[in-house]
Amino acid sequence: MNAVAGIVLAGGASRRMGEPKAGLAHAGRTFLARVVGALRDGGIADVIIVSGHAHDAVLAARPPGDLTEVVQNPHPDRGQLSSLKVALGALRPRRPRPDAALVALVDHPAISAATVHHLVDAWLAVRPAVAAGPAPAIVVPTYGGRRGHPVLFAASVWAELLATPDEDGARAVVRAHPSRVLEVAVDDPGVRVDVDTPEDFRRLTAGAT
């Protein structure tokens, strides 16, 4: 599935958690290792990690022996979209350039490889239509009727993401044209598990997700 690259955003300050979330352990692996593993096991070979705050902790949280590329956001306080822009800036010059990027968050460590497969397969199914004209360019998982992460962005919307003010976030692009968003229902509560606080972490480790 070389048409889709993977991006893991891990540049936040983790202020509410009190320590870098990338290095938190769940089921024997760090959050970062779990997210990278889900992308790779889901069929994505080309993965980029974006660090920001706690760059060294992000490097240390990679899976043992894993040399996944890490790019550092020089201005992580500008928000999550600023980190996404750093990753897209690294992907755009590649030849061949990926046709899409699946964007995962390090604080969603419970996503499954099966979900990654479903999202990529959904994108590959609509890609011919995208070439022919207006068609879904953003793929979002849903669980229990609610949207979650990771989110796939076709290369056709990368320029729009790069032009969006950091403070508006990627949601502004997702919401701009509802007709280009494809929702994919998945049997994976992990797409909705967002670990931001110590209490969130306790619920995750207790299995109350």
Q: Convert the pLDDT of each residue in 41-55 to its tens digit.
A: 999 999 999 999 899
Query: What mean pLDDT is predicted for residues 119-135?
Result: 77
Confidence of residue 65 (pLDDT cuts 50, 70, 90): confident
**Which residue did the predictor score with more confidence, 89 or 94?**
89
Number of domains in the chain: 1
Q: How far apart are CA 168 and CA 166, in angstroms?
A: 5
Task: Kindly tell me if the per-residue pLDDT of 170 is higher than 50.
Answer: yes
Report residue 2's pLDDT band, with 50, 70 and 90 as the boundaries: low
What mean pLDDT is predicted for residues 66-77?
A: 93
| Mean pLDDT confidence for 116-126 | 94
> Mean pLDDT, to the nearest integer, of 72-83?
96
Whether pLDDT at 131 is above 60:
no
Report the DSSP beta bridge partners of residue 10: 51
Residues 6 or more apart whose CB falls under 8 angstroms from that of 145 comprise: none
Question: Beta strands 29-30 and 4-10: pairing type?
Answer: unpaired
pLDDT at 104 over 80: yes
The C-alpha angle with vertex 104 and arms to 28 and 142, in degrees rounded to 5, equals: 100
pLDDT, one tens digit per residue, over 17-41 is 989 999 999 989 999 999 999 999 9
Q: Are 44 and 119 contacting, i.e. CB atoms less than 8 angstroms apart?
A: no
> 170: domain range?
4-206
Alpha-carbon distance of 189 to 106, in angstroms, equals 16
Residue 134: the pLDDT is 64
What is the pLDDT confidence band of residue 130, given thresholds at 50, 70 and 90?
low
CA 146 to CA 144: how far, in whole Å? 6
CATH number at residue 60: 3.90.550.10
b or e along 106-122 (b: 16 or more beta carbons within 10 Å of the residue's beta carbon)? bbbbbbbbebbbbbbeb
pLDDT exceeds 70 at position 209: no
Burial of 203 (0-12, 13-18, 19+ CB in 10 A): middle
pLDDT at position 1: 43
**Dihedral Cα 85, 191, 60, 101, nearest 10 deg:** -30
pLDDT tier, 87 (very low <50, low <70, confident <90, very high otherwise): very high
CA distance 76 to 62: 19
